[in-house]
């Protein structure tokens, strides 16, 4: 996990932190790195407990796995219960991002906020967060009712601008990107569910293994054979 997080940090240009720069701490690479650190700490206690046959380390490992499982369950439950609020908050954050951070200056530079939005609108064939008018009067072009050129079905230079004698809106995508991204995620829920089941199975296996090893160590320490090798009793 740590390796994957580092790889994403230095090689993967696009992530949630790029899309919502005011919350860059929530980027995918940061989440994976944090998950990798937690996994490393938990695995460290489990490996040391098994190697040294330490009941204290095994109990610590068992407790940490329980805490991680409860945290995952709590986050999943909260996300399901407040899914409407999460969706609304996400839309407001995306709208704030395009209003305050989009600019024409670095739209062709890979990994930038503007380039990421152009990439999304081109590939998902959408425009804005809810509708194309989300781009009207943003900080990059105040007092202008226009959209980025990536909103155009037939893309050409300045196709996102409106002129008095021409109605370019017919060439713009009508659907918002929030809905398009939501549909993209829904189509891949089976993958998310499979990953969740695998992680849950591994955690359950770790809990059972740690308790079996704990009971084995406890039983060995209570036998005469184990005590005969205890230097403190000689």
Please say whether the beta carbons of 62 and 48 come within 8 A.
Answer: no
pTM (two decimals): 0.62
Spell out a b/e string for 36-58, using b for 16 or more CB atoms within 10 Å of the CB, else e: beeeeebeebbebbbeebbeebb
| Domain 84-187, CATH | 1.10.1450.10
Domain boundaries defined on the chain: 1-81+193-234, 84-187
Q: Which residues pair with 163 in a beta bridge?
A: 166
Q: What is the pLDDT of residues 94-152, one digit of tens each?
A: 888 888 888 877 666 766 788 888 888 998 999 999 989 899 999 888 888 889 999 99
What tokens appear for 86 in the block? 């999460």
Rounded distance, CA 19 to CA 128, Å?
A: 12
143 phi, psi to nearest 5 deg: 65, 25
For residue range 155-199, what is the model confidence (pLDDT) as tens digits? 888 888 876 556 678 889 988 988 877 777 777 667 767 777 787
For CA atoms 121, 135, 141, 97, give the dihedral sign: negative
Read off the tokens for 197: 């089941």
């Amino acid at each position: 996990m740590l390796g994957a997080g580092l790889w994403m940090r230095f090689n993967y240009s696009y992530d949630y932190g790029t899309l919502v720069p005011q919350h860059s701490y929530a980027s995918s690479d940061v989440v994976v790195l944090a998950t990798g650190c937690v996994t490393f700490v938990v695995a460290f206690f489990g490996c040391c407990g098994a190697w040294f046959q330490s009941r204290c380390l095994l109990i610590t490992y068992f407790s940490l796995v329980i805490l991680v499982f409860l945290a995952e369950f709590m986050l999943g439950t909260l996300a399901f219960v407040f899914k409407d609020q999460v969706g609304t908050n996400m839309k407001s954050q995306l709208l704030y991002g395009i209003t305050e951070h989009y600019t024409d200056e670095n739209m062709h530079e890979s990994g930038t906020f503007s380039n990421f939005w152009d990439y999304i609108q081109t590939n998902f064939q959408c425009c804005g967060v809810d509708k194309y008018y989300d781009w009207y009067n943003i900080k990059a072009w105040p007092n202008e009712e226009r959209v980025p050129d990536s909103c155009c079905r037939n893309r050409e230079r300045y196709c996102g601008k409106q002129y008095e004698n021409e109605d370019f809106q017919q060439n713009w995508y009508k659907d918002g990107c929030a809905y398009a991204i939501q549909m993209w995620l829904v189509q891949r829920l089976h993958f998310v569910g499979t990953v969740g089941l695998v992680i849950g199975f591994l955690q359950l296996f770790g809990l059972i293994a740690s308790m079996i090893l704990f009971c084995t160590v406890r039983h060995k320490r209570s036998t005469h054979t184990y005590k005969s090798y205890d230097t403190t009793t000689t």
